Structure 1
Amino acid sequence: MSDAVLVEVAGGIATVTLNRPEVRNAIDRPTAVAIAAALDEADARDDVSVIVLTGAGSTFCAGMDLKAFSATKERPIDDVRGAFGIAERPPAKPIIAAIEGKALGGGLEIALACDLVVAAEDSMLGLPEVKRGLVAAAGGVLRLPRRVPYGIAMEMVLTGEPMAAAQAREWGLVNRVAPSGAALETARELAAAVAANAPLAIRAAKRIVVESADWSAEEEFVRQRVHTDPVRSSADAAEGARAFVEKRDPVWSGS
């Protein structure tokens, strides 16, 4: 992994850190490729159940590295995972954004590509692209209306004004608000609650939630069986039942 993106694995959690604090963790193309590689690694590892994505220093991510783009004309796009190495193809495993400081523009779009968001109480989240004559096209205008009510999403994308963490929590954009400086710690606590569960069930549950948005009522139960039947017949499902009867913690095999 590059120095711009650090990966640490412990307790079933892969912590991926954007490590460019000197540019507020802005993303250039090499960093986007490194983010994608880190997510590929986390998805492939049997000892990882959940991912936490955070930024070094006082800012989560400032979005695209405009200085690097001006010099190289390379946009921060990975060939497979898309913008910022995540926007078009997030990881199959659950991923939690841990936000300190500002998550604006591309920074918020990265967070929106995550399944859960933990934000420090003094952090700010927004899509200011319209203030610069642009549209938040790396998932911002697509994903935000799926996370917050229509009117709130419209206000954010049309005014470009940021939202404080507490307000974002009220509208469902943020799952947990942490004390300043404690976003990563809180995100890891949330990740541990996810990682305690059966790996196959976690991945199947996420996939159904993500993919079922456009399933019709007539087909939804049939289509989910493709994912739920293998889980139901897995060794982990049997272990979960045994552990419940025996009043002990389950020991998951991931099979």
Structure 2
Amino acid sequence: MTQATPTTPPAEGCIDTEVRGHVLLIGINRPAKRNGWTAPMFRQLAEAYTRLDDDPELRVGVLHAFGDHFTAGLDLPAITEYMKRGEKAVPYGLVEPHDLGMPGYRRRTKPMLAAVKGICFTVGIELMLGADIVVAGDDCRFSQLEVQRGIMATGGATLRMAERAGLGNAMLHLLTADEFGSEEALRLNFVQKVVPSAQVLDEALRIAERIAAQAPLAVVATRQNVLKAIEQGPLAAMADFIETQKRLSNSEDAAEGVRSFVERRPARFSGR
């Protein structure tokens, strides 16, 4: 079983990172408070996402949590003043972890997986929907309960729930603030795999390592084209086909892909 190594977190929590080959493990570390989110945690999370994008040796990220739960959501007393002032805890210029394309923030280019378990409320759902692939434990409890607290979900749930599950399913969970489990999340396409809770990080890392073994430039281009199709429409995505394929075909990795095919061996990609 894969074990990430946590530090001893301060009272306000922290984000731990660990490199496994070409994979960056990003760990939410405030288990004493069910990983409730504070401003320093958001800043450190953005710094970790930015590190993933900026380090050429890193190809895939895996967001996970220490303790029994992914997160109970926002630590409201710690975050409320930011919300009242209309401020974000993430500094401008970093990769914004919800990947919303907001002005002043960078967008992530490399793939991100989320490994979720136990309680996964509010911002936890939004972070996993902002990732590319989600592995969920069979013990997950999900709830997008902002309306129960007199606020609105602004980390992407109002956008992505309907995109993944349709209007009615999104409204059902957004407007009732109900709690649902892993099988419902799978039905709604919020998660891609459900496994026993103890195997969540193992499975996420297995998928991440499989992605990391592919040609990095092609992985990034493929991911970005899919997102462009979703956000701007199929015609906008198709307009990039010829130039993107031309650029990729002239890369060192494309040449290596051909050599490995001819020589019948696994490819050794460099990201160039």
Please give the TM-score of this superposition, normalised by the length of structure 1. Answer: 0.91
Structure 1 residue 79: deviation in Å?
2.6
Structure 1 residue 217: deviation in Å?
5.0
**Pairs within 5 Å for 1:65-104:** 65-69=75-79, 73-74=81-82, 77-80=89-92, 85-89=97-101, 91-104=108-121
**Cα offsets for 1:221-248 (capped at 9, x unmatched):** 2234443332122110111111112110
Counterpart selection for 1:235 from 252, 255, 272? 252
Contact 1:35 1:86 in 2 (8 A): no
| Mapped partners of 1:131, 1:192: distance in 2 | 39
Structure 1 residue 54: deviation in Å?
0.7
| Mapped partners of 1:38, 1:122: distance in 2 | 27
For structure 2, which runs of at least 5 residues remain unmatched after alignment?
1-6, 102-106
Counterpart selection for 1:63 from 65, 73, 90? 73
Structure-1 residue corresponding to 2:149: 132
Structure-2 residue corresponding to 1:21: 31
Q: Is 1:9 the equivalent of 2:26?
A: no
Counterpart selection for 1:183 from 167, 185, 200? 200
Q: Is 1:36 the equivalent of 2:53?
A: no
Structure 1 pair 219–211 and aligned structure 2 pair: CA distance change class (3 A): closer
Which amino acid in the other structure matches residue 88 of structure 1?
Answer: L
Contact 1:7 1:17 in 2 (8 A): yes
| Mapped partners of 1:41, 1:2: distance in 2 | 22
Structure 1 residue 172: deviation in Å?
1.6
Structure 1 pair 176–67 and aligned structure 2 pair: CA distance change class (3 A): same
Residue identity (%): 31
Contact 1:32 1:83 in 2 (8 A): no
Structure 1 pair 2–208 and aligned structure 2 pair: CA distance change class (3 A): farther
Structure 1 residue 193: deviation in Å?
1.5
Structure 1 pair 176–223 and aligned structure 2 pair: CA distance change class (3 A): same
| Mapped partners of 1:38, 1:225: distance in 2 | 33
Structure-2 residue corresponding to 1:194: 211
| Mapped partners of 1:91, 1:217: distance in 2 | 21
Structure 1 residue 74: deviation in Å?
3.5
| Mapped partners of 1:181, 1:169: distance in 2 | 18
Counterpart selection for 2:223 from 192, 201, 206? 206
| Mapped partners of 1:66, 1:214: distance in 2 | 31
Structure 1 pair 149–81 and aligned structure 2 pair: CA distance change class (3 A): farther
Structure-1 residue corresponding to 2:56: 46
**Cα offsets for 1:66-97 (capped at 9, x unmatched):** 23236xx2456203379985453552110011
Which amino acid in the other structure matches residue 173 of structure 2?
Answer: M
Please give the TM-score of this superposition, normalised by the length of structure 2. Answer: 0.85
Contact 1:82 1:88 in 2 (8 A): no
Structure 1 pair 85–251 and aligned structure 2 pair: CA distance change class (3 A): closer
Which amino acid in the other structure matches residue 47 of structure 2?
Answer: A
| Mapped partners of 1:55, 1:161: distance in 2 | 23
Aligned length: 253
| Mapped partners of 1:226, 1:158: distance in 2 | 43
| Mapped partners of 2:234, 2:202: distance in 1 | 40
For structure 1, which runs of at least 5 residues remain unmatched after alignment?
none
Ranges of 4+ aligned residues in structure 1 off by more than 6 Å: 81-84
Structure 1 residue 218: deviation in Å?
4.7
Q: Is 1:170 the equivalent of 2:159?
A: no
Which amino acid in the other structure matches residue 90 of structure 2?
Answer: D
